[in-house]
């Protein structure tokens, strides 16, 4: 199963879209603002001549507020650095990349908001910005040799290029869990290793010497990828599918053959693979947590982003998580099980999450800031 053919976030700006339901990832991006600003500032300051044009790429940009958020952070960081250094702001070219099935039209329609949001008091230093859409997989080459100064990617690189080839059935699971066979765990890691090295190799050709990358992924803190932490979001979804198998609504064989093509890596795995590939130096790595309870009482995830206050409305936590996860994996679930189960399975998923509130709701994120070696 090659992801490039059908994997996409839910398009548009409606109630089920990624645009409306990506506030948790947005919170994650906000937490990396300092790292992004530092990388852009270091990039400008370490250049022999202050750059006249800064070319950046956001890889796996998807659509909605988060795409604009990343762009506006970089624009503001460029404006701030050039103001501090007394130089004219460089012009900024922002390449927005995602798989060809991504809803690029929605991004382009929303781009005018970015001009308004990115002024941030630096109106005179506001860089001129040029946007381009770049469809294609980031596991292959996307840009000419040495054409990029800065690369950003958030919550995209945990997605694999394809489902790993499994020698054994991952019975009762849709991702790695404590009951997954060792061979399944190994196959997942080997696919991630192959993909991540391919990603670094392609970027090493495209990023100029001294260029920077800031990558944020859904990850884990534990050594064993089969630890509960990795499966937190997916165990309730497995339970929902199992209930549907018991009720005869989903075939058992269908469930046994469904595995999510993603891998939540640990900081050590990421550091080792960067070292093994050899083209980039790690400047900074940090781990942070996002808590699902941000969904509490919010109609959608963008409410959660703007008003992070608690309410007693427990019932909406599961509903909010289910909507957010549906916006991400609906195409995968529909491709494997068919569209008919979608409403039912995501409703059950939400209910199971709401009923298991005592469990930890922290999702681990890892951000790594890198420099292309000279």
Ligand X SMILES: C[S@@+](CC[C@H](N)C(=O)[O-])C[C@H]1O[C@@H](n2cnc3c(N)ncnc32)[C@H](O)[C@@H]1O
Binding site for ligand X (CB under 6 A): 3, 7-9, 22, 25, 29, 60-62, 66, 97-99, 102, 137-139, 154-156, 159, 161, 328
Q: Which helix (H) or strand (E) holds 224?
A: none
Assign 163 to helix, strand or coil. coil
Q: Which of 10, 7, 96, 26 is nearest to 365 (CA)?
A: 26
Joined tokens for residue 365: 């994120």
Rounded to the nearest whole angstrom, what is the least distance from the CB of residue 164 to ligand X in the complex?
15
Give phi and psi for 176, each to the nearest 5: -70, 135
Rounded to the nearest whole angstrom, what is the least distance from the CB of residue 27 to ligand X in the complex?
10
Joined tokens for residue 374: 């000279």
Closer Cβ to ligand X, 44 or 151, answer by number:
151
Rounded to the nearest whole angstrom, what is the least distance from the CB of residue 181 to ligand X in the complex?
26
Joined tokens for residue 87: 């130089």
Rounded to the nearest whole angstrom, what is the least distance from the CB of residue 269 to ligand X in the complex?
18
CA dihedral 85, 72, 320, 244 (to 10 degrees): -110
Rounded to the nearest whole angstrom, what is the least distance from the CB of residue 106 to ligand X in the complex?
12
Closer Cβ to ligand X, 81 or 97, answer by number:
97
Closer Cβ to ligand X, 153 or 371, answer by number:
153
Closer Cβ to ligand X, 25 or 367, answer by number:
25
Task: Tell me the residue number closest to ligand X, measured at CB.
Answer: 60
Q: Provide the 8-state DSSP code for 240.
A: H
Closer Cβ to ligand X, 17 or 97, answer by number:
97
Closer Cβ to ligand X, 102 or 371, answer by number:
102
Q: How far apart are CA 112 and CA 349, in angstroms?
A: 37
Closer Cβ to ligand X, 137 or 173, answer by number:
137
Rounded to the nearest whole angstrom, what is the least distance from the CB of residue 153 to ligand X in the complex?
7
Closer Cβ to ligand X, 208 or 325, answer by number:
325
Residue by residue, DSSP assigns 251-317 as: -HHHHHT---SB--B-HHHHHHHHHHH-SEEEEEEEEEEEEGGGGTT-SSHHHHHH-----S-THHH
Rounded to the nearest whole angstrom, what is the least distance from the CB of residue 342 to ligand X in the complex?
18
3-state helix, strand, coil in the chain (%, to 5): 45, 20, 35
Q: How far apart are CA 108 and CA 112, in angstroms?
A: 8
Q: What is the largest CA-CA distance in the chain?
A: 69
Rounded to the nearest whole angstrom, what is the least distance from the CB of residue 98 to ligand X in the complex?
5
Rounded to the nearest whole angstrom, what is the least distance from the CB of residue 50 to ligand X in the complex?
29
Closer Cβ to ligand X, 76 or 89, answer by number:
76
Q: How far apart are CA 162 and CA 306, in angstroms?
A: 35
182, 199, 246, 269 from 179: Cα distances, Å:
9, 30, 20, 22
């Amino acid at each position: 199963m090659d992801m490039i053919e059908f994997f996409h976030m839910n398009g548009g700006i409606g109630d089920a879209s990624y645009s409306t339901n990506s506030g948790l990832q947005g919170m994650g991006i906000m937490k990396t603002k300092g790292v992004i600003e530092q990388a852009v500032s270091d990039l400008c300051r370490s250049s022999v001549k202050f750059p006249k044009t800064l070319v950046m790429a956001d890889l796996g940009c998807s659509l909605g507020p988060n795409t604009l958020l990343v762009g506006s952070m970089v624009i503001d960081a460029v404006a701030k650095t050039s103001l501090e250094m007394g130089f004219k702001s460089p012009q900024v070219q922002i390449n927005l990349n995602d798989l060809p099935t991504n809803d690029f039209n929605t991004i382009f329609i929303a781009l005018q908001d970015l001009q308004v949001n990115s002024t941030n008091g630096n109106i005179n230093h506001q860089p001129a910005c040029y946007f381009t859409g770049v469809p294609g997989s980031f596991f292959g080459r996307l840009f000419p040799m040495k054409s990029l100064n800065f690369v950003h990617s958030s919550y995209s690189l945990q997605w694999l290029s394809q489902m790993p080839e499994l020698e054994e059935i991952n019975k009762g699971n849709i991702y790695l869990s404590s009951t997954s066979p060792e061979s399944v765990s190994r196959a997942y890691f080997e696919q991630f290793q192959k993909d991540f090295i391919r990603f670094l190799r392609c970027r090493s050709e495209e990023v100029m010497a001294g260029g920077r990358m800031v990558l944020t992924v859904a990850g884990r803190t534990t050594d064993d990828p089969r630890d509960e932490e990795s499966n937190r979001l997916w165990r309730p979804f497995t339970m929902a599918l199992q209930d549907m198998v018991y009720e005869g609504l989903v075939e058992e064989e269908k469930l046994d053959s469904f595995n999510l093509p993603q891998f939540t890596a640990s900081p050590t795995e990421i550091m080792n693979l960067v070292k093994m590939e050899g083209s980039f130096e790690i400047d900074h790595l940090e781990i942070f947590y996002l808590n699902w309870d941000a969904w509490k009482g919010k109609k959608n995830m963008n409410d959660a982003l703007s008003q992070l206050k608690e309410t007693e409305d427990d019932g909406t936590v599961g509903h909010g998580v289910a909507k957010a996860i549906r916006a991400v994996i609906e195409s995968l679930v529909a491709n494997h099980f068919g569209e008919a189960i979608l409403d039912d399975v995501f409703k059950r998923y939400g209910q199971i999450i709401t009923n298991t509130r005592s469990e930890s709701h922290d999702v681990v994120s890892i951000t790594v800031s890198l420099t292309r070696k000279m």
